[in-house]
Structure 1
């Protein structure tokens, strides 16, 4: 009977080892390839200085394989058995978390992380602690437990270790959105850039600028700009000067897009105006200038620029037409006419709807739900 129990226990132990190994491999692959793909790519770019190509699928498979080998080596060295055998995954799970615990400073020249000294210390403490506990609890570890308990305890330990990995890694949604948008932009997939976080009202300055670059390259700046949250006025067309707030794209990318660099200390609005009126910039510069005027709510300057650079028979982009409707209210002699009956009707509905709310807060929120993708809402309600 005891021999039968021993055989059943050994079989259960093998099954437990295979199940935990499979679950860890599955977790590691999905975590790296799906959830942390862009973070891993950023780490690769930083370490390789952009000199080698990043292959996400191969990277996820190779790292997962190495971590499984590490787990095997740790278990051979420490000899963990029984209900605590899954603790041999701790170094692998810890390293997996450390690999994805990076922030925006990953691209800076003086990038450093406390994990450089903290990780070896933790692994050393782990090894010493396991050696000590193995000697202290030798008899209990060698005791054959119930196969069900064996599986349950080890699965619980593995789940907790995987949770530790997730908690260590960077799970900041805004940062992931920025990295994803940046990746699509480098791949010239401008439509995909605009899909990143499109349902969210959260938008960092970096993500806002990446979107505007994608719109400009796709010729959609005047069509899509106010379909997304705009919290930074014309600053949302340019990156912050602090490298900790940007990723691989910088303002040099935008100046290349515009065709001209500003003089040192030159105001950005003045810079955009000059390159348009002097004709020194590329064709994209005009959309940037008109968009900047709209973002700064300078309707009069926008109307003048539209008259200076467009012919009356030219087809205008959506938000230029929406702004033009507002401009014509104070400038009825404007040569541009809006003949879009649907747009005019919606503008009339916009004015009528504003009177239906009991408070300013209800008005702002209610109008956002119905007209939040219009320039009119931005002009009246966005601070």
Structure 2
């Protein structure tokens, strides 16, 4: 009977080892390839200075295999048994979390992280504590426990350690959206840039600028700019000056797109106005200038710029036409007519929908649901 229990225990221990290994492998691969691929790509670019190509699938597989081998080595060193055998995954999970704990300063010069000294310290403490506990509980570790308890305890330990890794890693969705958009922009996948975080009503300044660049490349800045959240006025067309807020793209990328650099201390609106009226910039500069005026809600200057710089006989981009419909409300003598009957009908519906609400908050939210992709909503409700 005793021999039968011993055989069952050894069989359960082998099954537990395989199950825990598969559980960790599945988590590690999914975590690295699906959830943290953008973080790994950014870290790789920073460490390799962009000189080598990043392969997300191969990286996830190689890192997972290395962490499995590390677990095997740790268990061989510590000799953990019984209900706590899966504690040998602690270093692997800790490294997995530290590897993906990357912040916005990843591209700054001399990038470093506190994990450089924290990781070795924690691992040394872990080894020391594990040795100490193994000596104290030697008899308990050698005791053959119930196979079901053995399995459940070790699986629970692996799950807890995987959760620890996930909590250590960067889970800031805004940061992930920025890195995703930047990645696709580098590959000139402009429609993919626009899909990053598209369902969120929040948008960081960096993501807003990256979207503007992508829209400019596709010639849709005047058509789709306000289909995305705009919280930064004309500042949403340019990166913040703080280098920790930008990544591989900076304002130099935008100046190249526009064809001209501003003078030292020159404000962006003045800069855009000058290059448009002087004709020194590329064709993309006009849409940047008109979009900046719309973002600032300066319709008087916008209408003047449209008359001066745009061929009115041509069909105007959607948001420009939407702005002119607002302008005509207060300036009925304005001669330019919007010929898009569908757009005019929608604008009439927009004005009709604005009445009958009991509170401003209700009105703002209700109008966003139906007209949140228009310049009208931005002009009336975006603070």
* Shorter-normalised TM range: over 0.9
- 1:348-367 aligned at under 5 Å gives the runs 348-367=348-367
Moved more, 287-296 or 188-197: 188-197
Contact between 1:258 and 1:285, CA under 8 Å: does it hold in 2? Answer: yes
Write the mapping of 1:19-30 to structure 2, written as runs, cut at 5 A.
Answer: 19-30=19-30
In the TM superposition, what are the counterparts of 1:134-153 in structure 2 within 5 Å? 134-153=134-153
Aligned to 1:313: 313
**Within 2, Cα distance between the matches of 1:335 and 1:359?**
36
Say which SS state the counterpart of residue 323 (structure 1) adopts. Answer: helix
Residue 53 of structure 2 aligns to a residue in which SS? coil
Q: Does the 8 Å contact 1:325/1:338 carry over to 2? A: yes
Q: Decide whether the 8 Å contact of 2:306 with 2:312 is kept in 1.
A: no
Q: Which runs of 5+ in 1 are unaligned?
A: none
SS at the partner of 1:201?
A: coil
The aligned counterpart of 1:238 is 238
Contact 1:257/1:284, CA 8 A, preserved across alignment: yes
Is the 8 Å Cα contact of residues 239 and 250 (structure 1) preserved in structure 2?
yes
What is the aligned partner in structure 1 of residue 199 from structure 2?
199
Residue number in structure 2 paired with 1:346 = 346
Larger deviation, residues 280-289 vs 367-376: 367-376
- Distance in 2 (CA, whole Å) between partners of 1:86 and 1:138 is 16
SS at structure 2 position matched to 1:356 = coil
How far residue 335 of structure 1 moved from its aligned partner, in angstroms, is: 4.3
Q: CA RMSD in A?
A: 1.0
Question: How do 1:97-116 residues align onto structure 2 when only pairs under 5 Å count?
Answer: 97-116=97-116
Aligned to 1:210, the other structure's residue is in SS state helix
Name the residue aligned to 1:214.
214
2:33 corresponds to which residue? 33
- Aligned pairs (5 A) from 1:281-296: 281-296=281-296
> Hey, what does 2:173 align to over in structure 1?
173
**Distance (Å, rounded) in 2 between the aligned partners of 1:98 and 1:359:** 48
Q: Distance between the aligned counterparts of 2:168 and 2:380, measured in 1?
A: 43
Instruction: Report Cα offsets for 1:167-199 as digits up to 9, x if no partner.
Output: 100000110110111111111111111111111
Contact residue 86 and residue 154 of structure 1 kept, 8 A? yes
- Structure 1 residue 333 displacement after superposition: 4.3
Paired with 1:91 and 1:180, the residues of 2 have a C-alpha distance of 29
Q: Deviations over 1:290-330 (max 9, x none)?
A: 00000000111111111112223201111011011112233
In the TM superposition, what are the counterparts of 1:150-165 in structure 2 within 5 Å? 150-165=150-165
Aligned length: 383
Q: CA deviation at 1:247?
A: 1.4
1:346, distance to aligned residue in structure 2 (A): 1.2
Give the SS at the match of 2:234. helix
TM score, norm. by length of structure 1: 0.98
Report if the CA contact (8 A) 1:312-1:335 is conserved.
no
- In the other structure, the counterpart of 2:71 is 71
- Give me the whole-angstrom Cα distance separating, in 2, the residues matched to 1:10 and 1:125: 30
